[in-house]
A and B are shown apart, each in its own frame.
Chain A
Amino acid sequence: MKRRDLLKSLGLSSLGLVGLSPQVQAAENILYSGPDKKKKKQPWEPYGRTEDEEAYNAKLLVEQFFNPKEMETLGVFVDIIIPKDQHSGSATDAGVPDFIEFMAKDRPNLQTPLRGGLHWIDSQATKRFGQVFTKCSDAQRLEIVEDIAYPNRKNPGMSQGVAFFSLMRNLTASGFWSSQMGLADMGYQGNTPNQWDGVPEEVLKQYGLDKE
Chain B
Amino acid sequence: MRDIQFKATPTTYDVIIVGSGAGGGMAAYELSKAGAKVLVLEAGQHYDPADPKYITQMKWPWQSPRRGASTRFRPFGDFDAAYGGWDIDGEPYTTAPGTEFKWFRSRMLGGRTNHWGRISLRFGPDDFRRKSIDGLGEDWPIGYDDVKPFYDEVDSLLGVFGSNEGLPNDPDGIFLPAPKPRLHEHLLKKHNKNLGITTIPSRLSILTKPINEERGSCFYCSQCNRACMAYADFSSSSCLIKPALKTGNLDVINYAMVREVLTDAKTGLCTGVSYVDTQTMEEKTVRGSIVVLAASACETSRLLLNSKSPRFPEGLANSSGVVGKYLHDSTGASRSAIIPMLFDRKRYNEDGVGGLHVYSPWWLDNKKLDFPRGYHIEYWGGMGMPAYGFGWGIENINGMFPDRSGNPREAGGYGTALKDDYRRFYGAYVGMAGRGEAIAREDNYCEIDPEKVDKFGIPVLRFHYTHSDHERLQAKHMHDTFEQIIHEMGGIPLSDKPGADRDYGLNAPGEIIHEVGTARMGNDPKRSALNKYQQAHDVKNLFVVDAAPFPLTGR
Contact A169 B418 (CB under 8 A): yes
Contact A196 B215 (CB under 8 A): no
Interface size class of A (residues with CB under 8 A): 35 or more
- Which residue of the partner chain A has the closest CB to B416? A85
Q: Interface centre among A25, A165, A169, A190, by most B CB within 10 Å?
A: A190
Q: In whole angstroms, how far apart are the Cα atoms of A173 and B64 in the complex? A: 16
Contact B413 A149 (CB under 8 A): yes
On chain B, the residues within 8 Å of A106 by CB distance are 65-66, 69, 71
The verdict on A44 contacting B63 (CB below 8 Å), with A151-B412, A182-B386 known, is: yes
Contact B418 A191 (CB under 8 A): no
On chain B, the residues within 8 Å of A56 by CB distance are 71, 73
Contact B386 A166 (CB under 8 A): no
The verdict on A57 contacting B390 (CB below 8 Å), with A152-B410, A188-B385, A189-B349 known, is: no
Contact A185 B423 (CB under 8 A): yes
Contact A180 B60 (CB under 8 A): yes
Indicate if B327 sits at the interface (CB-CB under 8 A).
Answer: no
Contact B423 A26 (CB under 8 A): no
The verdict on A190 contacting B383 (CB below 8 Å), with A44-B65, A149-B414 known, is: yes
Indicate if A116 sits at the interface (CB-CB under 8 A).
Answer: no
Contact B52 A29 (CB under 8 A): yes
Q: In whole angstroms, how far apart are the Cα atoms of A47 and B349 in the complex? A: 23
Contact B186 A194 (CB under 8 A): no
- Which residue of the partner chain A has the closest CB to B81? A48
Which one, B10-18, B176-184, B437-445, is touching chain A? Answer: B176-184
Contact A35 B60 (CB under 8 A): yes
Indicate if B231 sits at the interface (CB-CB under 8 A).
Answer: yes
On chain B, the residues within 8 Å of A32 by CB distance are 52
- Which residue of the partner chain B has the closest CB to A196? B220
Q: In whole angstroms, how far apart are the Cα atoms of A147 and B479 in the complex? A: 37
Contact A198 B181 (CB under 8 A): yes
- Which residue of the partner chain B has the closest CB to A189? B349
The verdict on A30 contacting B58 (CB below 8 Å), with A20-B213, A22-B216, A209-B187 known, is: yes
Contact B413 A191 (CB under 8 A): no
On chain B, the residues within 8 Å of A130 by CB distance are none
Residues of A126-164 whose CB lies within 8 A of B = 145, 149-152
Contact B386 A191 (CB under 8 A): no
- Which residue of the partner chain B has the closest CB to A197? B180
On chain B, the residues within 8 Å of A180 by CB distance are 60, 62
The verdict on A48 contacting B53 (CB below 8 Å), with A169-B395, A191-B385 known, is: yes
- Shortest distance between the CB of B243 and any CB in chain A (Å): 12
Contact A203 B54 (CB under 8 A): no
Interface size class of B (residues with CB under 8 A): 35 or more
Contact A194 B220 (CB under 8 A): yes
- Which residue of the partner chain A has the closest CB to B345? A203
Contact B186 A207 (CB under 8 A): yes
Chain A 92-131, CB-CB to B under 8 Å as 1, else 0, gives 0001000100110011000000000000000000000000
Which one, B266-274, B350-358, B448-456, B517-525, is touching chain A? Answer: B350-358
Contact A81 B62 (CB under 8 A): no
Indicate if A187 sits at the interface (CB-CB under 8 A).
Answer: yes
Contact B66 A103 (CB under 8 A): yes
Contact A174 B388 (CB under 8 A): yes
Q: Name the 4 nearest CB pairs between A and B, nearest first.
A: A198-B180, A22-B216, A187-B347, A23-B216
Q: Which residues of A contact B (CB under 8 A)?
A: 9-11, 19-23, 25-26, 29-30, 32-35, 43-48, 50, 52-53, 56-57, 60-61, 80-83, 85, 95, 99, 102-103, 106-107, 145, 149-152, 165-166, 169-170, 173-175, 177-180, 182-183, 185-200, 202-204, 206-207, 209, 212
11 extra interface residue pairs, beta carbon distance < 8 Å, beyond A152-B411, A186-B423, A193-B219 = A35-B63, A47-B59, A48-B79, A50-B83, A60-B65, A83-B416, A83-B419, A174-B389, A183-B386, A196-B349, A196-B352
Provide 28 A-B residue pairs closer than 8 Å at the C-beta atoms, listed in order of the A residue: A10-B230, A30-B229, A44-B62, A46-B52, A48-B55, A50-B73, A53-B73, A56-B73, A57-B65, A80-B414, A81-B418, A103-B69, A149-B412, A169-B418, A173-B391, A182-B386, A186-B422, A187-B426, A190-B350, A193-B219, A193-B220, A194-B349, A196-B352, A199-B348, A203-B345, A203-B346, A206-B346, A209-B187
Q: Which residues of B contact A (CB under 8 A)?
A: 45, 50, 52-56, 58-69, 71, 73-74, 78-79, 83, 89, 179-183, 186-187, 189-190, 210, 213-217, 219-223, 228-232, 341, 345-353, 383-395, 399, 410-416, 418-419, 422-423, 426
